[in-house]
Amino acid sequence: MATLQLNNLHAEVVEADEKILDGVDLTVESGEIHALMGPNGSGKSTTAKVIAGHPAYEVTEGEVLLELDDEEWGEELPEEKLTWNLLDLEPNERAALGVFLGFQYPAEIEGVTMVNFLRQALNAKLEEREELFEDEADAAEDEDDDAGYETSPMEGPADEGEVDVAEFQQILSEKMELLDIDEEFAQRYLNAGFSGGEKKQNEVLQAAILEPSIAVLDEIDSGLDIDRLQDVSDGINALRDEQGTGILQITHYQRILDYVEPDHVHVMLDGQIAKSGGPELAEKLEDEGYDWVRDEAYEAA
Amino acid sequence: MTAAQVHETISEETVRQISDELDEPDWLLETRLDALAALDDLEMPDVIRTPGRDWTNLHALDFEEFVDPLNAAEDKDQIGPDEVEVLPFAEAVAEREDLLREQFGSVIDPEENYLVALSTALFSTGTVVYVPENVDAEDVTIRTTQNSRSLFNYTLVVTEQSSSVTILERQDTGESVDGERYYSGVVEIAAGENSHVQYGSLQDLDEETYNYALKRGDAADYATVNWVDGNLGSRLTKSSVETNLDGEGSETKTVGAFFGHDDQHFDIAARVWHNTAHTTADLVTRGVLDDEARSVYEGVQDVGREAWDTNSYQRENTLMLSDESEADASPKLIINNHDTEASHSATVGQIDEEDMFYMTSRALGDETARNMLVEGFFVPVLEEIEVEELRDDLAARVRERLQ
Amino acid sequence: MSSEQDQLKQTNTEERFEFKKEERSAVRSDKGLTEEVVRLISDDKDEPDWMLDRRLRALEHWQEMPMPTDWPGQPDLTELNVEEIVPYIRPDVDKRSGADSWEDLPDEIQDTFEKLGIPDAEREALSGVGAQYESEVVYQNMQERWEEKGVVFMNMDKAVQEHPDLVKEHFMTSCVPPSDNKFAALHGAVWSGGSFVYVPEDVTVNMPVQAYFRMNSEGMGQFEHTLIIAEPGSEVHYIEGCSAPKYGTHNLHSGGVEVFVGEDAHVQYSTVQNWSKNTFNLNTKRAIVEKGGRMEWISGSMGSKATMLYPCSILKGREASANNITIAFAGEGQNIDTGAKVYHNAPNTKSTIESKSISKDGGRTNYRGLVHISEGAENSSTSVECDALMFDNESTSDTMPYMEIDESKVDVAHEATVGKIGDEDVFYLQSRGLDDDDAKQMIVSGFIEPITEELPIEYAVELNRLIELEMEGSLG
């Protein structure tokens, strides 16, 4: 699996020159659940977006590393393919390496069905992975092995990609059942006209299908009623328990932590991790708010 | 009509006399004389043309017959609360020449087209509304009753920073003239930063009057210019209500309503130019046509290259009550910035037969049912009108027309 | 997704559309539009006098009419100098009326159409094919079974000779008279080539017939005429495709299409337009639809420097209907001005117009449409839906519908939206593993998805292929 490391990460908004992250240090390993909490504007969402490579932010200092554990990749990886500086990579390349971002506000894309989108995403991920791991010399050969354009372009070619339509349907049904998602979901357009809760559920479904080694979930719990919160929590726990995904869960509320018990809790203030601890820290925050953390942090400084 | 035709009835002397009676300064007289001289070269306002058809024919107007500026007569009320200056034009010339000089023609080019230039040269009456900084004023009322063959009216509204004003203008005609008449109204609004202007207008001229109206507002940063434009009267109306969203975060909402009957012709336009970032426009128009009435609607949403984060919406609905009526519509979207959310829609239709059947099955007579449905059709625009008095007046005039 | 892309990259445009062949002509007219040129064309075709007369009358209209320059937002035509255009180049082939075997064509022409995939398509999915190279049709063939049923699919020049009565009655008379517009007049004067399709009563041609128009030479004009007569109860689907290599000077394409849809007949007319980006594409296409007839126009405009195209349906008989699907894609330097016109001249007529336009890299699209409902055309309905997608701030998208409603018992609806491809949307898709190109491609596919469901499958495939090429900016 993998380890995600944020080292002294500084970032600002590209257009506004506004500094948001001021030296974030954080490590998340596969199989762990981390909760990242903090008041509005402390930099939580920005951390998530910077990890995934959002173009609106510029990293001015520090690094985001992903260290792979080569056993999981089926073959022995050479040394230089074990550690990746995510900041050098495009968002889709980061996704291919197993970093997933669950959005606070997922985009609505008309005309693109869930099933088509997810299958393409899964295949793109598998293919991109191959490209990232293969030697430069081999790269050229791969160019002309695909042909054919037999089905409707809207469905995507049937024979293309590692996962074909039938196989994918199978995967999709399993995951949807796991997350208690209505089957007609698959034929709907991507997030278009979804309720807030449906969108969040859909984000977890996508994570389940793409099987990331690290999933950053940005306010996945906001806007959920209690039933859906349980479904979503079950999905997150399954990600960790069955796929060994490492979770970085960004949240305002203690509530979800009753269902998804974190191994580590971090508090973010003014663009830095001000305090880290175990689950008891979240409870204390729930009871006492953030001020005491702030006081402590400034005293220490 | 050619320019020469009008020229025979208007001389430089006429213009000088009008200016003199208002005791105008030289610069204003010069502006008028320039406009007069420009008539030769100016075109009529644009009308929509499609293969084989002009949607409105302004060239058929016989200006020689009804342009008679020296005998202009009217009844006028110009009322407003104390903290706002509401000045008849002559008073504005005497007391606020500085303001006039700065703002006159700043929103609408006095020579923008033939009819504007004619109005510039010949207007003999008008109103200047000045709203000082931070003043919040309601109930500015301007009523004009035309008692002469022709009347050229000019209105200027200037609002200073963070002020707010609601203006209600009404035009109608007195009994004293028989035959065809001409009414021309030009309205300029310069809405200062963060100010809020609501300008409502109810045109109820008699049905032998030809009416030209051009109303335009320039909105500065965070300013709002809202229009209500009701057209019921006149034989032919060529009206355009326009907003330049020049300031960041500026907004406009235009609510239009018309109800034509007999052989009335309404050529109505609602236009907005998004010239800068974060601007919002909403254009809503509903019209009903009965008998041989005809409507032409043009809506323009023009989003400029620099208009990032624009929201622009337009809706137009026409209800036709008679087979002899005609409705033409052209809602246009011109988008030069991709950071835009825009939509428009237009419908033309008749009263739904199912609706009629439902209502008559509840024992309503045809006429009553139809009238209720027409009144109901106007409700969405009436609900958009924040000025209660205007809303009630418009609803009452619609009901009257249905009798 | 990306292996498709790879494949498309290999099927590069040089190979597929952009290749140039040396010009080998039998006859080449002078530049410009003169009486001499018109007489030369007519003489070279050995036309009857009545056709020459029609050409000369059209020339008079051309000379009298002003260029259309006063439409709001229209493409700039000032760069188009008709006096510099060569209107007539007859390719040097053995058989004037079109060979019925590809092997009989000169190598370079045969190679051209093979690269364009026409012989393959003919074998697989078509009832008949006509292929025009420069000013004349060089290949013409139709399956025998249709001939036996009395279906005619021949080149237009030949139809003038062999079906003079039908042509005399229908050719640029009631449907598209030369006086209709400046470019219809030009077309009437110098038209050459094109298709004549006649479908007898109650015959259903169940596989499409296709015509392909190829301009090869620099600075030429192509003016093919298509005349389709569908007798009552018949059905036919006509597909046209077109392309040209890109040159530094301007080419002109000005086609004329006339369709007569008989009572209860059904005609589908599909176009995939992929002219090179130095081509002015100014067409007049019109159908007259009798009682119960149905006309469908499907127009995909990908190529050209400037296109002005508004397929028109005149719904003449009760219950006639027209459907229009318009897809426009304007990239760098392109101005695609397209839409539809419908005249409802009888009761119970129906029309729908769906337009999807995409602008990118400074391209300009404009939907321009007219719906006219005449007095007495009661119970007619029309619905217009226009959607536009813009990729960047250099691009422009306009929507200019015109509705003229002279009848009250109608149902008229027009709707338009402009959407943006937000950076957020692209990022979202990228974060799921799609690369930038694939993400944008996916958004475009989603955007046109609602109408592609209504398209014939072979058409949808070709369209999507061209859109992908446009998205990569690899079309010249």
For C378-424, the pLDDT digits (tens) are 999 999 999 999 988 889 999 999 999 999 999 999 999 887 777 77
With contact defined as 3+ CB pairs under 8 Å, the chains touching A are C
For B149-171, the pLDDT digits (tens) are 999 999 999 999 999 999 999 99
Domains of chain A with CATH codes? 2-300 (3.40.50.300)
In chain B, what percentage of residues exceed pLDDT 90?
75
Give pLDDT, residue C178: 95
| Alpha-carbon distance values, C126 to A110, A235, C205 (Å) | 34, 52, 10
The angle at the Cα of C330, spanning C327 to C331, to the nearest 5 degrees, equals 145
Is residue C432 domain-resident?
no
Determine the distance in angstroms separating the CA of C9 from the nearest CA of chain A, rounded to an integer: 10
DSSP-based three-state secondary structure for A223? coil
H/E segment holding residue C259: strand C256-261
- Residue pair A147/A112 in contact (Cβ under 8 Å)? The answer is no
C-alpha to C-alpha distance for B56 and C434, rounded to whole angstroms = 53
Determine the distance in angstroms separating the CA of B316 from the nearest CA of chain C, rounded to an integer: 10
Domain count along chain C:
1
DSSP-based three-state secondary structure for C460? helix
First to last CA, chain B: 37
Full DSSP string of A99-132: EEEE-SSPPP-TT-BHHHHHHHHHHHHHHHHHHH
pTM equals 0.82
The maximal CA–CA distance of chain B, rounded, in angstroms, is 70
Give pLDDT, residue A140: 45
Sign of the torsion angle spanned by Cα atoms C150, C151, C157, C160: positive
Full DSSP string of A142-168: GGG------S-TTT--TT-SSS-HHHH
Give pLDDT, residue C439: 87
- Residue where the block lists tokens 């009572």: C263
Q: Does C374 touch chain B (CB under 8 A)?
A: no
Top mean-pLDDT range of B27-36, B361-370, C447-456: B27-36
- Residue where the block lists tokens 């809503």: B284
Q: Does A288 touch chain C (CB under 8 A)?
A: no
Best probe of the C interface among A57, A99, A109, A160, by most C CBs < 10 A, is: A109
- Can you say whether residue A93 is alpha, beta or left, with left for phi > 0 and alpha for psi between -120 and 50 degrees? alpha
Chain A residues near residue C433 by CB distance under 8 angstroms:
92, 95-96, 121-122, 124-125, 128, 210
Query: Can you give the pLDDT of all 476 residues of chain C as single tens digits?
Result: 334 434 434 445 556 677 888 888 889 999 999 999 999 999 999 999 999 999 999 999 999 999 888 888 899 999 999 999 999 999 999 888 889 999 999 999 999 999 888 998 888 889 999 999 999 999 999 999 999 999 999 999 999 999 999 999 999 999 999 999 999 999 999 999 999 999 999 999 999 999 999 999 999 999 999 999 999 999 999 999 998 988 889 999 999 999 999 999 999 999 999 999 999 999 999 999 999 999 999 999 999 999 999 999 999 999 999 999 999 999 999 999 999 999 999 999 999 999 999 999 999 999 999 999 999 999 999 999 999 999 888 899 999 999 999 999 999 999 998 877 777 788 889 998 888 888 888 888 888 888 877 787 778 878 888 888 777 764 43
Q: Does C74 touch chain B (CB under 8 A)?
A: no
- Residue pair C302/C470 in contact (Cβ under 8 Å)? The answer is yes
Q: Per DSSP, what are the bridge partners of residue C339?
A: C368
Chain C residues near residue A112 by CB distance under 8 angstroms:
442-443, 445-446, 449
C-alpha to C-alpha distance for C320 and C261, rounded to whole angstroms = 9
Q: For C421-467, where are the E strands, in sequence order?
A: none
| Residue ranges making up the domain that contains C144 | 20-424
Q: Does A147 touch chain C (CB under 8 A)?
A: yes
- Residue pair B260/B271 in contact (Cβ under 8 Å)? The answer is no
CB contact under 8 A, B343 and C418: yes
Alpha carbon B189 to chain centroid distance? 12
C-alpha to C-alpha distance for C274 and C367, rounded to whole angstroms = 18
Determine the distance in angstroms separating the CA of A299 from the nearest CA of chain C, rounded to an integer: 39
C-alpha to C-alpha distance for B381 and B391, rounded to whole angstroms = 9
Burial label for C450, CB within 10 Å (0-12, 13-18, 19+), is: middle
Question: Residue B349: how many CB atoms within 10 A of its CB?
Answer: 18
Residue C398 has its nearest CB partner, among B318, B333, B343, at B333
Best probe of the B interface among C398, C418, C440, by most B CBs < 10 A, is: C418
- For A210, phi then psi, to 5°, come to -80, -10
C-alpha to C-alpha distance for B271 and B333, rounded to whole angstroms = 10
Residue C430 has its nearest CB partner, among A90, A161, A206, at A90
Question: Residue C196: how many CB atoms within 10 A of its CB?
Answer: 25
C-alpha to C-alpha distance for C329 and C348, rounded to whole angstroms = 34
Rg of chain B over all Cα atoms, to the nearest angstrom = 21
Question: Residue C294: how many CB atoms within 10 A of its CB?
Answer: 22
CB contact under 8 A, C416 and B345: yes
Give pLDDT, residue C12: 52
Chain C residues near residue A190 by CB distance under 8 angstroms:
446
Give pLDDT, residue B386: 82
Give pLDDT, residue A132: 82
Q: Does A96 touch chain C (CB under 8 A)?
A: yes
Q: Does C124 touch chain A (CB under 8 A)?
A: no
With contact defined as 3+ CB pairs under 8 Å, the chains touching C are A, B
For B281-315, the pLDDT digits (tens) are 999 999 999 999 999 999 999 999 999 889 899 99
C-alpha to C-alpha distance for B305 and B299, rounded to whole angstroms = 19
Q: Does C380 touch chain B (CB under 8 A)?
A: no
User: Which of C256 and B179 is assigned the larger pLDDT?
Assistant: C256
- For B13, phi then psi, to 5°, come to -60, -45
Chain C residues near residue B341 by CB distance under 8 angstroms:
418-420
In chain B, what percentage of residues exceed pLDDT 70?
97
Q: Per DSSP, what are the bridge partners of residue C142?
A: C128
Extents of the domains making up chain B: 3-350
Give pLDDT, residue A145: 36
Chain C residues near residue A189 by CB distance under 8 angstroms:
446
Determine the distance in angstroms separating the CA of C122 from the nearest CA of chain A, rounded to an integer: 17
Q: Does B300 touch chain C (CB under 8 A)?
A: no
Question: Residue B98: how many CB atoms within 10 A of its CB?
Answer: 8
DSSP-based three-state secondary structure for B84? coil
Burial label for C468, CB within 10 Å (0-12, 13-18, 19+), is: buried
Among A62-76, A93-107, B31-45, name the one with the lowest average pLDDT: A62-76
DSSP-based three-state secondary structure for B396? helix
Give pLDDT, residue A154: 35
Is residue C465 domain-resident?
no
Q: What is the ipTM of this complex?
A: 0.84
- Residue pair B240/B271 in contact (Cβ under 8 Å)? The answer is yes
Sign of the torsion angle spanned by Cα atoms C370, C376, C377, C382: positive
For C428-465, the pLDDT digits (tens) are 899 988 888 888 888 888 888 888 777 877 788 788 88
Extract the tokens encoding C24. Answer: 């080998």
Give pLDDT, residue C4: 40
Is residue C446 domain-resident?
no
Residues 416-435 of C with CB under 8 A from A: 419, 422-425, 427-435
Extract the tokens encoding C355. Answer: 């337009």
Is residue C14 domain-resident?
no
Any residues with CB less than 8 A from the CB of C213 and at least 6 apart, and which? C132, C193, C222, C224, C240, C241, C242, C253, C255
Extract the tokens encoding C231. Answer: 């007798």
Residue B346 has its nearest CB partner, among C73, C404, C414, at C414
| Alpha-carbon distance values, C87 to C224, C241, C373 (Å) | 11, 20, 38
Is residue C460 domain-resident?
no
Sign of the torsion angle spanned by Cα atoms A17, A19, A25, A31: negative
| Alpha-carbon distance values, C196 to A69, C152, C154, C171, C215 (Å) | 69, 7, 5, 10, 20
| Alpha-carbon distance values, A205 to B199, B238, C189 (Å) | 52, 58, 64
Best probe of the C interface among B313, B320, B335, B353, by most C CBs < 10 A, is: B335
Q: Is the pLDDT of residue B345 over 50?
A: yes
